[in-house]
Structure 1
Amino acid sequence: MSNRLELRVIVRRRLSDTGTNPLWEEEFLNDAITEAMRRYSTSVPRQAVAAISVAEGDRELAMPLTVNAMRVVHVFDDRGVPWRRWEQSSDPPPAPTGYAESPAIWRAWGTTIILGTPAPRTGLWRLEHYANRADPVDDVTDLDISPGDEDLALALAVATALHRRAVAEGKRYNGRSGVHPIAVAARTAQADADRLLWRRFRHVRSGSLNNTMG
């Protein structure tokens, strides 16, 4: 699927709700798809790049609103030289004042990047970071899904829809069984989504986690 409309049609098919009088309201499914996309974004954030202006002597780099400092992965200066991230080793962290023993390092704190030594020049720096994926806002815009993740997004949407319906129906359930049938279906759907997510990341053991993000 490429947009919300196509995903909604497939979700209905999975829910066996393709009749002329559907049981699942369109708005209900749209909300479920939005929540599913947010869950997908949490597990598989989008790889993004930001360019920021850095002045010679800067030690604290303020992040633009589109960049979460805590989700910055790589920092490159104006000449493309990578600065190493401080990994909370025995060495002291970079401070806003003073100097670190290994100068070309950085750490994130709050909404800023703190450098181990002042920026050597004025220039444009490159930040590679993880970003939230866009929420679906209409039926024609392409969903913010990485290639090959369509089945995962579908599984999350089905699981979310079933879980929401199970919560609503469970309040009125008076069946002999302690568990509503829709709740059972929701658990099964969530297990399917978890399996696909695990498959998505299983090659991390032989590669880098960064390579699994899209």
Structure 2
Amino acid sequence: MSGRAGDLADDAVADDAVDRAIRAFRDGQPVLVHDFDDREGETDIVYPAGAVTADAVARLRNDAGGLVCAALSHDAAVAMDLPFLDDTIDHPSAGSHELGYDDRSSFSLPVNHRDTFTGIPDADRALTITELASAAEAALAGDYGPEEFAADFRAPGHVNVLRAAPGLLADRQGHTELGLALAAEAGLPPAVVVCEMLDDETGHALPKAAARDYATRHGFVYVDGDQLVERLR
């Protein structure tokens, strides 16, 4: 197949992958999202934050192996006065990143919910994550601000919060924005969990083919970042 017919077929495949990803998110299921070969070149397991359970956290640390982070929308972060972490660190190591894949880090505060003990067990992290989703939703409704956040969460903690770019995919196309754009399209609160998939043999990012195989074996949706950008930007 070539020419216009081939392009239409490719578009149909991309639309199907995005549609399936949206449905999976609405059902509280994870989606595997690869960003771009010329960016991080990583596949993340991405969950809607409100659906995260202790079993989900176990999957992220066992099957993905990267850093478990909760990404919040820009507007929710502003409403709760959550800063970029590099703006709060008074140390020469902060403020000059020279990242090979982006202009700045998205990291905000690492937090634990106050109802956790150490904050690190799967159930503790799941609680922190789901409560972050509730907080983000309430913040957008104007019912939750810095004082409420401080009453519910403490920093530092064991869930790294990421703060999205204001225009999501129009401004930045990292896993933070890709996941939150997916959540928005699914009609979910502006909070997702992302965790990089690593290769146990090399220690580097899991190759795309292996990530696709994992998705197939477990019945999860795999989608490429360019497919999400094309549809959701």
Q: TM-score, normalised by structure 1?
A: 0.24
Higher relative contact order (CA 8 A, sep 6+): 2
Q: TM-score, normalised by structure 2?
A: 0.23
Higher helix share: 2
